[in-house]
Amino acid sequence: MPATATLPILDISRLDKGPAEREAFLSELRDTAREVGFFYLTGHGISEDLTRSIVAASRDFFRLPEADKLAVEMVNSPHFRGYTRVGLEVTRGQADWREQIDFSSERPALPTGPGIPNWARLQGPNQWPASQPALKPLVVEWQNQLTQLGIRVLEAFAIALGQPKDVFAPIYETAPIQHLKLIRYPGRDATGGDQGVGAHKDGGFLTLLLQDVQGGLQVEADDGSWIDAPPIPGTFIVNIGEVLEMASNGYLRATVHRVVTPPAGKDRLSVAFFLGAALDATIPLLELDPELAAAALGPTADPQNPLFREIGQNYLKGRLRSHPDVAQRHYADLLDPAAKREPASAY
């Protein structure tokens, strides 16, 4: 990726503005995905009212008394759902200085036991704060609308690669991962370091990130420098996850990124939605046209972050390493004391 001053801005509504605009958009999307892996998305159709509501509800949650937040602490959930205090999530073994609450698809817990894969423990109900009853319907609506938007972007990626638009449908349509994080980064005066979240790649299909007003997200350029990605009203930041990188043999790019702690006296709010394939799915390898295949570099190899084509195995690996307190309480039988932690799928 070139060291550019800003990320590209793409308008997905161009898909519906006639053949010429459609082809121009798909060409820009393909080039951006190949060279950068990150972009701002406009023309997405998510209403300003809903956006304001999810931001306000996030602020309301983080203002709750500590006891109310700890009542839904993630360590209570074998499904990695709930509230995480500042400093308890880790990336590459270092504390991330933020607080957050995680939700995923609201589904019943799966049976567990001999002969059942360990990743089956990941599915189950969310924890909802009793003192904020309006949060659940809002989160579910956000998940539903962002899932539809994410699928639209995913279909555009498929077409841009010369594939049927629904080429990925078999691995998400039954039960996609709809992972949502509401996140608050306190200012530098209230943290133990400047790592809001450490450098990492995301693990799913793609991420749709809503930022409030405070910057901090940075994207790594090819020369090792960092490109600031400040909030732009009315946009989402979209980035490619490792599922798309692996499916395209590295033509689509999952790019390293991080968040730096806000200045003293400020905080940063973000709403991050991660669209993933079903837990029981296996990542396919697309057959690209020769010209595209020749430009595919293969997935990035990182000895600290081995990648598996089995979605459930990959997702469980990341959760165990980024939330060691949950791992110790609910997955002690799976832990390897010598294992290194890997990047978390998080902002």
Q: CA–CA separation, 139 vs 106, rounded Å?
A: 10
Q: CA–CA separation, 298 vs 251, rounded Å?
A: 7
With pLDDT > 90 as the criterion, what percentage of the chain qualifies?
Answer: 84
Q: What is the structure's pLDDT at 347?
A: 39
Q: What is the structure's pLDDT at 340?
A: 45
Q: What is the structure's pLDDT at 6?
A: 86
The first and second tokens of residue 62, run together, are 């983080």
Determine if the pTM surpasses 0.85.
yes
336 vs 224, residue with greater confidence: 224
Provide the 3-class DSSP secondary structure of residue 334.
Answer: helix
What average pLDDT does the segment 297-305 reach?
70
Each residue's pLDDT tens digit, 203-251 = 999 999 999 999 999 999 989 999 999 999 999 999 999 999 999 999 9
Structural domains in the chain, sorted by start: 9-334 (2.60.120.330)
Each residue's pLDDT tens digit, 28-77 = 999 999 999 999 999 999 999 999 999 999 999 999 999 999 999 999 99
Burial-class residue 222 by CB neighbours within 10 Å (0-12, 13-18, 19+): exposed
The first and second tokens of residue 332, run together, are 């002690």
Burial-class residue 290 by CB neighbours within 10 Å (0-12, 13-18, 19+): exposed
What average pLDDT does the segment 122-144 reach?
98
With pLDDT > 70 as the criterion, what percentage of the chain qualifies?
Answer: 94
Q: How far is CA 240 from CA 7, 193, 216, 227, in A?
A: 14, 28, 19, 16
